[in-house]
Chain A
Amino acid sequence: MQAGTKYIFLLISTTILVMAGALNAQHISFGTWAGAGLTLTNGTPYELNFNDKTPLIITGINQSVPISLTDMEAAVLTIEGTEYLDVTVYVDAPPTLELDATNSIPLSIRFAYSNLGPADIATAKIQAVEVPAGFNSATFPIFRRTSGPPGPPPTPPLEGYTPPQKTAYLFIYGTLGPVGNVNAGLYDGTINVTVEYSTY
Chain B
Amino acid sequence: MKKSIFRLFSFVLSLLFFSNLHAQEAVSITASATVLEISEIELVTIKEMNVDGSFAENGIVNISPVTDMNAGELLVKGRANAQMRITSPNQTVLVNTSGQGTLIFYYVLSGFWSDNKQASEILNAPDRILQFNEEGQYYLWVGGRVDINNARPGNYEGEFILEIEYI
Q: Could you tell me the distance in whole angstroms from the C-beta of A97 to the nearest C-beta in chain B?
A: 6
Evaluate contact between B29 and A191: CB separation under 8 angstroms: yes
A170 to B27, CA, bound (A): 12
A35 to B28, CA, bound (A): 21
A38 to B16, CA, bound (A): 21
Q: Could you tell me the distance in whole angstroms from the C-beta of A172 to the nearest C-beta in chain B?
A: 6
- Given A24-B16, A31-B23, is A186 in contact with B34 using a C-beta cutoff of 8 Å? yes
Please provide the chain A residues from 31 to 58 with a CB less than 8 Å away from any CB of chain B in the complex. Answer: 31-32, 34-35, 38-42, 46-51, 56-58
Please provide the chain A residues from 142 to 196 with a CB less than 8 Å away from any CB of chain B in the complex. Answer: 172, 174, 176, 179, 182-196
A182 to B37, CA, bound (A): 9
Chain B residues with CB below 8 A from A75, complex form: 29
Q: Could you tell me the distance in whole angstroms from the C-beta of B84 to the nearest C-beta in chain A?
A: 14
Residues of A at under 8 Å CB distance from B?
13, 17, 20-21, 24-25, 27-28, 30-32, 34-35, 38-42, 46-51, 56-60, 65, 75, 77, 79, 93, 97, 99, 105, 107, 109, 172, 174, 176, 179, 182-197, 199
Q: Which 8 A-B pairs have the closest CB atoms?
A: A34-B23, A24-B15, A27-B19, A40-B25, A50-B33, A188-B32, A31-B22, A48-B31
